[in-house]
Structure 1
Amino acid sequence: MLRLTSPAMVATLAALTALGPLATDMYLPAMPAMAEALNTGPDQVQLTLSLYMAGFALAQLFCGPVSDRFGRRPVMIAGFTLFLAASLLCAFAPNVEWLLAGRFLQAFGGAAGPVLGRAAVRDIYGPVEAGRVLSYMASTMAMAPALAPVVGAGLLLFFGWESVFLLLAVYAAIMLLILALRMPEPLPQDRRQSVAPRVILANYRMLLTQRSFIGYTLINASGFAGLFAFLSGSSFVLIEYMGLTPFQYGTGFTLIVAGFFSGTLFSGRYSHSLGRDRLLLLATLMCALAGTSMAVLALAGVHEPWAVIGPHVLFLFGFGIVMPQSMAGALAPNPQCAGSASSLFGFLQMTIAALGGALVGQFHDGTSHTMAIAIALGGLVSLTAYLGLIRRRNGASSIAQASCRQG
């Protein structure tokens, strides 16, 4: 068995959490080819991404509270089993309707990895150290979205788009073996929660009254909506409109993820010296500046790959800071229901992102305009959430936090 506080345990949690970006990023270069193979339009293929995020969001409302009662490990085992089966359904889907169903089920199972990985870090490391550990976890898992589009492009070239989902099934099988044979349970028995609906609803209601929880969640969700707008529209903008090959697209995506990776390293390095909220001010300013720059370039008629990739590198650097610090901030006051807090955090994050991605697909006009404007709005709303909810809270007198109900 792995030791709970060992580097190997952190790496395992990062690998479990990486399932989310792998399932979204690996098939991005194949989206135009999938539309052609399944005899459907770009909007239907983009819907597979939005539907995945919607299913991911919905599943989080259940897997977190259930894990607060029965433990993180058994819920992750169930989730990864469903993800494996759904990946096989996607690989052998005869039409886009079956693919949509497979993606929804894939999301429903895959949600267990990121949600319970976050909760396990809070279980093990506590409120202060969790931000630093989540930053280094994010640095480790940044390799997934960096490599995923390149791997996806290679699989598309040599084996077809179906092979992307077969590889995801293999990844899920490996994670299942690790969960079953090596991973200990991080949630102690004395912190288990009731799964009675009234208790779950009471905890969600309590979390929605916490100004800090709402503030940190909106900072993250708005930034993630900007990222998801890029995921939803970038392959059509950069490949179909700007003429990049799938491999060039994957290479550009790697540069963008390098920005995210650098942001997470910066977050971990300066987490103690600068503090969570100073880091978030710097990061949200970066996201707002980067998104606005991309939108201005697009509306000015600068339709070149560098005008998309360059600003998004800066946006992802900022989001690399935002992601772990906002997660830690939202979970910090809620140790007795970390699973529920992580679930609600993820549900709001994914719901806002899915809506943004659906709008990008709906209003895509063949250019980079819609995508760039959506990314700019994500950065600006993230900055506004920090200034309006977190900075103002810190300037006011402290307010006692409510505690989670246990039964």
Structure 2
Amino acid sequence: MLALTSTWTTILLAAAVALGPLATDMYLPALPQIGSDFGSGADAVQLTLSLYMAGFALAQLVCGPIADRFGRKPVMIAGFLLFAIASVGCALATDIETLILCRFLQALGGSAGPVLGRAAIRDIYTPREAAKILAILASIMALAPAIAPTLGGLLVTGFGWPAIFLALGGYAAVMAVVVAIGIPESLRPEHRQPLRPSSLLGNYRRIATDVSFLGYTLTNALIFSGLFAFLSGSSFVLIDFLGVKPEHFGLFFACMVAGYVTGNLASVRLGNRLEPDQVLLRGLVIAVAGGSLMAGLAMAEVYNVWAVILPQALFMIGVGMVMPQTMAGAMANFPTMAGSASALFGFTQMAVAACGGALVGYLHDGTSLVMASVIAIFAVAALASYLLLVQRHPAPSLKPVSFTE
């Protein structure tokens, strides 16, 4: 068993958390083919993504408190096993309704990795340390979305889209074993919380009424929704509208991931000389610039791959700087109930993102305009959330910075 603070523990936690982006990014190149096979439109196919996020959000509200009572490991292992079983169901689906249902069940299991990975980091480190560790963890995790669309495109081309879900199920099964034998339990016995309904509701009420938590969580949810708008619409824009081949989709997607990793590494580097909220503000400004550039190009009817990918890469630099700071800030006030705080944080993030993804699918006009506009709007909203909430109510040890600095 590894030490809690070892580098390998961080790497394995990153691999566990990576199941979330793998489950969304790997099958993106398959969305048009799934729609064709089942005779479904873009809005119905995108429900497999949006309802996955909705299930992911709801499940976190349950697994967080359970993990605060029984520990991170057993809940994470059970989640991975459920995900593996549901993945087989996805691969065997014969209609879009069955696929949507199995994706929802997939989400119930898959939520354990991200919510408990964040909680474990908060168990082990202080808020200031957690911001840096989360940035490092995010950089490692970025390997998943970097290779997932390319691998998914190859699987679709060579074996059909069901192979993607079989591969995801295999990964989840392996991670269940890895967590069982490699990652130590991070929850201290004295921090375990009772499972009485009154205690659970009391904990959630305390977390949800903390203005600092609300500010960081809303800022995160809005910027993540901009990212999810891209995930939801990118395959239809790049493959159907701009003519990118499914097997090449991942190569363009990797540019976005490179932007995200750049933002993560910048977050770590800047964290050595700036306060976390200073890094957060700079990331939001960069994200607004990227989203606004993409929307402006779409409005000017500049329709080509690079008019989408390069602004999105700039947006993702900002996202890479924002995400670790908001995660650490949201959980800073709750060291004894990190699982519940992480669950409510994740629920809000996924619920808002699911609405954003559904909006892109509903309004999709066959071009990049809707997707680009939604990304820009969410970026501006995230900056407004920072200015109105986070800047006025920062978490302890996370000093704010004036917008004019």
TM-score by length of 2: 0.96
1:323-375 CA-partner distances (Å, limit 9, x unpaired): 11100000111101100000000000000000010011011111111111110
Matched, 1:57 2:57: yes
Q: CA deviation at 1:224?
A: 0.5
**C-alpha separation between the residues in 2 aligned to 1:393 and 1:329?**
11
Matched, 1:305 2:302: no
SS at match of 2:301: coil
**C-alpha separation between the residues in 2 aligned to 1:391 and 1:191?**
30
Matched, 1:26 2:26: yes
Q: Look up the match of 1:350.
A: 350
**C-alpha separation between the residues in 2 aligned to 1:369 and 1:128?**
39
State which drifts further: 148-157 or 386-395. Answer: 386-395
SS at match of 1:173: helix
1:155-193 CA-partner distances (Å, limit 9, x unpaired): 111111010000001101110111222221110111000
Residue type of the alignment partner of 1:42 = A
1:225-260 CA-partner distances (Å, limit 9, x unpaired): 000000011100111011111123211000110000
**C-alpha separation between the residues in 1 aligned to 2:354 and 2:39?**
24
Q: Look up the match of 2:107.
A: 107
Q: Look up the match of 2:286.
A: 286
Q: Is the 2:212–2:394 contact (alpha carbons within 8 Å) kept by the matching residues of 1? A: no
Residue type of the alignment partner of 2:105 = L
1:115-139 CA-partner distances (Å, limit 9, x unpaired): 0000000001122211111100000
**C-alpha separation between the residues in 2 aligned to 1:310 and 1:111?**
30
SS at match of 2:391: helix
Q: Look up the match of 1:277.
A: 277
Residue type of the alignment partner of 1:24 = T
Query: What pairs up with 1:39-50 in 2 under 5 angstroms?
Result: 39-50=39-50
Q: Look up the match of 1:267.
A: 267
1:285-339 CA-partner distances (Å, limit 9, x unpaired): 1111111111111111111111111110011110011111100000111101100
SS at match of 1:302: coil
Q: CA deviation at 1:196?
A: 1.1
Q: Look up the match of 1:365.
A: 365
TM-score by length of 1: 0.96
1:365-398 CA-partner distances (Å, limit 9, x unpaired): 1111111111001100111011111122359xx9
Query: What pairs up with 1:371-390 in 2 under 5 angstroms?
Result: 371-390=371-390
State which drifts further: 245-254 or 134-143. Answer: 245-254
Q: Is the 2:153–2:248 contact (alpha carbons within 8 Å) kept by the matching residues of 1? A: no
**C-alpha separation between the residues in 2 aligned to 1:164 and 1:283?**
33
Q: Look up the match of 1:141.
A: 141
**C-alpha separation between the residues in 2 aligned to 1:238 and 1:231?**
11
**C-alpha separation between the residues in 1 aligned to 2:329 and 2:392?**
15
Matched, 1:211 2:216: no
SS at match of 1:336: coil
1:33-75 CA-partner distances (Å, limit 9, x unpaired): 1111122222111110001000000001000011000000000
SS at match of 1:392: coil
Residue type of the alignment partner of 2:190 = D
SS at match of 1:272: coil
Q: Look up the match of 2:258.
A: 258
Q: Is the 2:91–2:162 contact (alpha carbons within 8 Å) kept by the matching residues of 1? A: yes
Q: Look up the match of 2:125.
A: 125
Residue type of the alignment partner of 2:89 = L
Please report the RMSD computed on the Cα atoms of aligned residues, expressed in angstroms. Answer: 1.2
Query: What pairs up with 1:314-325 in 2 under 5 angstroms?
Result: 314-325=314-325
The count of corresponding residues between Structure 1 and Structure 2 is: 396
Q: Look up the match of 1:193.
A: 193
Q: Look up the match of 2:296.
A: 296
Q: Look up the match of 1:12.
A: 12
- Structure 2: segments with no counterpart, 5+ residues: 399-405
Q: CA deviation at 1:100?
A: 0.5
**C-alpha separation between the residues in 2 aligned to 1:242 and 1:116?**
39
**C-alpha separation between the residues in 1 aligned to 2:303 and 2:317?**
23
Q: Look up the match of 2:176.
A: 176
Residue type of the alignment partner of 1:323 = M
Q: CA deviation at 1:217?
A: 0.6
Residue type of the alignment partner of 1:291 = G
Residue type of the alignment partner of 1:7 = T
